[in-house]
Structure 1
Amino acid sequence: MTLTTFALLGVAALLVGFAKTAIGGVGSIAIAIFAVALPTRESTAAILLLLLVGDLVAVWHYRRDADLGMLKRLIPAVLPGLALGALFLARVDDTTLRRCIGVLLLVLAALQLVLSWRSPDTARIGSSRTAAIGTGVAAGFATMTANAAGPVMTLYLVAQGVEKRRFLGTSALFFFGVNLCKVPFSAGLGLFNLDTLWHTALLVPLVLVGCWVGLHTARRLSQTRFDQAVLAATVVSALALVVR
């Protein structure tokens, strides 16, 4: 691995930690960086391990804020989504997977943009059982193929008007559970190797730094303006994956 590649992955690791404790949309940028810097399959496994590190910090910090009732409605539908994502990973090559990740991120970015224009009726739609099932399946597939379920979860939680700490606590516990479920799927696909584990271990301190920065930033910055910048960066990153 070149110094430039490791520097890019270091930036991505910082963003992973920041996304877990502050603004989840930043995670899309980290996903895009990993997919460009590493072979695409290896990137999904490496970033999964880093996400778990960030999840542990987020769950600990927001452990009293999770909405367990909401999680019970979502979790059963996640497993079929994970299975579909694993099947997809097993059947596509790196180029196709990279471009699919790019397209997926573009679609999810568009969903985030739609959120900003949503009508008052959105909250009623978001609270339905159908919405919970659809969100669970979509989140499972998106996270298995691209570690990109954050915008899907955001769409669901924001549609229900979830306040900030409840949002962060529910997301933290949801993604910790989902990412743990992904480990055996990824191992079964042969995505973990010694190089991946070594590179991940070197990047863990940067994830922790990102978590620390995120915890402090979440209290100070305007989330609306920051989300706009993150959305633009996500679109640029996704386009780079599609045309590369």
Structure 2
Amino acid sequence: MLGWLVLGVSALVVGIAKTSIGGVAALPVAGFATFLPAKESTAAVLLLLIVGDVIAVRLYRRGADWAMLRRLLPAVLPGIVLGALLINVVDDRTMTLVIAGCILAALSVQLWLRLRPAAALPNPGHPHLAATIGAGTAAGFTTMVANAAGPVMAVYLLAARVDKLRFVGTNAWFFLLVNVSKVPFSAGLGLFPPATLQLTLVLVPVVLVGAWIGRRVLRAVDQRLFELLTVTAALVAAAALLTRAALTG
């Protein structure tokens, strides 16, 4: 019963994340990984995320920064390949620790940028090419391993000082394109058994409700609160993943 409750809430948060505060997408990752094997949980979350991505693109497609996406997307594929290789060779506990470490690293960068914005980001609207390549590769890796690229993209977009509507629009197109491209890799790894597909079908309506809630949340919060919630959600998700790894160690 508790497991279904957590999975239901996680699916609700997927919808909220896709239409408002993208950083909270790390929370469903932790929720699914708590009650499902980590590798299988990635496939279940992936399918729900794609449902949310389609809704988000439908709502916010005009807000996307395509110049930023064109710079970012080519660096994602190497990260996806590395992530697929990692899934093949590590156990669930190690993978959980890797994802938690990536989230914490992204948060560290975000805090540093907040403390030294002038030195760290001389041209806010156009992040340095090295930062773009690093963010794209990190996003590809973390999204393939456990659908945890939300914090990486949140750090990158917040560092670029995009407003909340451009944030959501760019996020929507980025993750739709990336998540669809991950499906063949996940299928090749055998992560789509019938039980996973059945679970996804049951939870799709919950994602739709979350998307409806998320759209209203985005209208209600200002930019400062939006950024605070994004960072806080990523921190909570990292703590949950580290706790899970400690309990299974």
Following superposition, the deviation at residue 43 of structure 1 comes to: 0.2
1:146 aligns with 2:146: yes
Question: Which residue of the other structure, out of 64, 67, 70, is the alignment partner of 2:62?
Answer: 64
| Range moving further from structure 2, 168-177 or 3-12 | 3-12
Code of the aligned partner of 1:201: L
Q: Deviations over 1:100-150 (max 9, x none)?
A: 233333333333433432422333376221111111111100100121111
Code of the aligned partner of 2:46: L
2:24 counterpart residue number: 26
1:96 aligns with 2:94: yes
Question: Which residue of the other structure, out of 235, 241, 247, is the alignment partner of 1:238?
Answer: 241
User: Would the alpha carbon gap of residues 112 and 14 (structure 1) be closer, same or farther in structure 2, given more than 3 Å must change?
Assistant: farther
Q: Normalising by structure 1, what TM-score? A: 0.93
Following superposition, the deviation at residue 227 of structure 1 comes to: 3.7
Code of the aligned partner of 1:192: F
Code of the aligned partner of 2:229: F
CA distance in 1, matches of 2:246, 2:157: 32
Q: Deviations over 1:220-240 (max 9, x none)?
A: 123244345424523431332
1:136 counterpart residue number: 136
Moved segments of 4+, more than 4 Å:
none
User: Would the alpha carbon gap of residues 227 and 79 (structure 1) be closer, same or farther in structure 2, given more than 3 Å must change?
Assistant: closer
User: Would the alpha carbon gap of residues 217 and 55 (structure 1) be closer, same or farther in structure 2, given more than 3 Å must change?
Assistant: same
SS in 1 for 2:201: helix
CA distance in 1, matches of 2:108, 2:244: 16
1:196 counterpart residue number: 196
CA distance in 2, matches of 1:115, 1:17: 29
CA distance in 1, matches of 2:241, 2:105: 10
Question: Which residue of the other structure, out of 117, 120, 123, is the alignment partner of 1:119?
Answer: 117
CA distance in 1, matches of 2:144, 2:54: 19
**Structure 1 vs Structure 2: percent identity of aligned residues?**
49
CA contact (8 A) 2:26 2:234 kept: no
CA distance in 1, matches of 2:244, 2:108: 16
Where do 5+ consecutive residues of structure 1 fail to align? none
Where do 5+ consecutive residues of structure 2 fail to align? none
CA distance in 1, matches of 2:117, 2:172: 27
2:72 counterpart residue number: 74
CA contact (8 A) 1:29 1:234 kept: yes
User: Number of residues paired by the alignment?
Assistant: 242
CA distance in 1, matches of 2:71, 2:228: 31
| Range moving further from structure 2, 99-108 or 202-211 | 99-108
1:223 counterpart residue number: 226
CA contact (8 A) 2:97 2:245 kept: yes
Q: Deviations over 1:45-70 (max 9, x none)?
A: 00000000110111000011111111
CA contact (8 A) 1:20 1:55 kept: yes
| Range moving further from structure 2, 32-41 or 218-227 | 218-227
| Range moving further from structure 2, 31-40 or 152-161 | 152-161
Code of the aligned partner of 1:121: A
SS in 2 for 1:26: helix
SS in 1 for 2:190: coil
CA contact (8 A) 1:66 1:171 kept: yes
SS in 1 for 2:63: coil
Superposed CA RMSD: 1.7
Code of the aligned partner of 1:49: L
1:182 counterpart residue number: 182
CA contact (8 A) 1:106 1:234 kept: no
User: Would the alpha carbon gap of residues 182 and 224 (structure 1) be closer, same or farther in structure 2, given more than 3 Å must change?
Assistant: closer
User: Would the alpha carbon gap of residues 98 and 228 (structure 1) be closer, same or farther in structure 2, given more than 3 Å must change?
Assistant: closer
